[in-house]
Amino acid sequence: MIHAGIVGASGYSGVETTRLLLRRNDVSLDAASASSSAGKRLDAIAPEFAGRTGIVLEEFTPSHFTDLDVVFVALPSGEGMKVVPTLLGGKARVIDLGGDFRLQSTEAYQQYYKLQHTAPGFLPQAVYGLPEIHRNAIAGARLVSNPGCYAMSAILALLPALTDGLVQEQGIVITSGSGTSGAGRKATADYSFSELNENVKAYKVVSHQHTPEIESVLSEAAGTDVCVSFVPHLLPMTRGIYTTIHATLKKPVSREEVLGRYCAFYQKAPFVRVRHDVPQIASVTRTNYCDIGIAVQERTHHLILMSVIDNLVKGAAGQAVQNMNIMFGLPEELGLQA
């Protein structure tokens, strides 16, 4: 039995992580914290859990979590680095769903997250939780940093093209649209139904915090510097991410050849599906899959990539549970297949 806890259980990612853990007979959710909802039952925050758990949310107390086997930290960026060092002082292995340990550069973190990093000494031991390239490192990690949702959709789409040398490493253009749950439970006018319904708008243009994450992971995989232009958009929907990427081909190549290379690259990745048609968000909603579509535009010498994920599952909680499975030597699909 894996004894688990969730810090930040009342947010969207925390609730989604709870949903996935409660489906498991081999996992016991023993502790859950949430600062603003402390004292409330978890099923009062998320009525879908009625009759499935009687756990009461509490203020974060390190001693209630450090003796567990694994702790999921589902806190906003800037908050995770306050609790992760404390958790690592016990026996628990930690999976951080926030952004505090994704970047190895504290300067880049301060530039994009607008915060001073208070736990830089823990950055070297943080393993970036992308099983498609870091499976072995994840298996032995004490601290796993879950990828960002936008970053997940872009990185998985570009990895084969860059590692196989199909496209130029510079001038890659990424456009993503996300459901509003990606912003968390923010009760502000910008995220209200009346502002977002029947509307689409870009935000954090040229300054989104997932930009250096995308570039650093892809640069490591490609063995050379990768530079991207990334613009995210809010979509009038609750969940899901649609990413479209334009990259310049280094030499002419057919779509069939690219499809073959992508299928070979991901043949051992159970949650990446290379599509022969145009992917759509509805195909991945509430699943841990990333679907990738491919087009070759001969006239402009561009490779066009499309990827879709559920931002709360493959982009957050599902990926975290997939990482947990790997960390404990379990089949990574366990509890995540429909």
Q: Answer for the pair 97, 119: CB distance below 8 angstroms, yes or no.
A: no
Residue 116 amino acid letter? Q
**Residue 215 located in a structural domain:** yes
pLDDT of residue 182: 67
Specify whether 290 is catalytic.
no
**Separation CA 292–CA 102 (nearest Å):** 24
**Residue 209 located in a structural domain:** yes
DSSP secondary-structure letter at 58? B
pLDDT of residue 188: 65
Instruction: Check whether residue 142 and residue 260 sit in a common domain.
Output: no
Instruction: Check whether residue 222 and residue 98 sit in a common domain.
Output: no
Q: Nearest CA to 169 among 182, 153, 178, 158? A: 158
Q: Answer for the pair 253, 164: CB distance below 8 angstroms, yes or no.
A: no
Instruction: Check whether residue 85 and residue 224 sit in a common domain.
Output: no
Instruction: Check whether residue 259 and residue 112 sit in a common domain.
Output: no
Instruction: Check whether residue 157 and residue 297 sit in a common domain.
Output: yes
Q: Answer for the pair 122, 84: CB distance below 8 angstroms, yes or no.
A: yes
Instruction: Check whether residue 141 and residue 164 sit in a common domain.
Output: no
**Separation CA 214–CA 299 (nearest Å):** 28
Q: Residue 218 sits in which domain range? A: 150-310
Kindly give the confidence (pLDDT) of every residue in the chain, 338 residues in length, as a single tens digit, with 9 standing for 90 and above.
999 999 999 888 999 999 999 999 999 999 999 877 777 888 888 888 887 888 888 888 998 898 899 999 999 999 999 999 999 998 999 999 999 999 999 999 999 999 999 999 999 999 999 999 999 999 999 999 999 999 999 999 999 999 999 999 999 999 999 988 766 655 566 666 777 788 889 988 988 999 999 999 999 999 999 999 999 999 988 899 999 999 999 999 999 999 999 999 999 999 999 999 999 999 999 999 999 999 999 999 999 999 999 999 999 999 999 999 999 999 999 999 86
**Separation CA 66–CA 242 (nearest Å):** 37
CATH of the domain at 303: 3.30.360.10
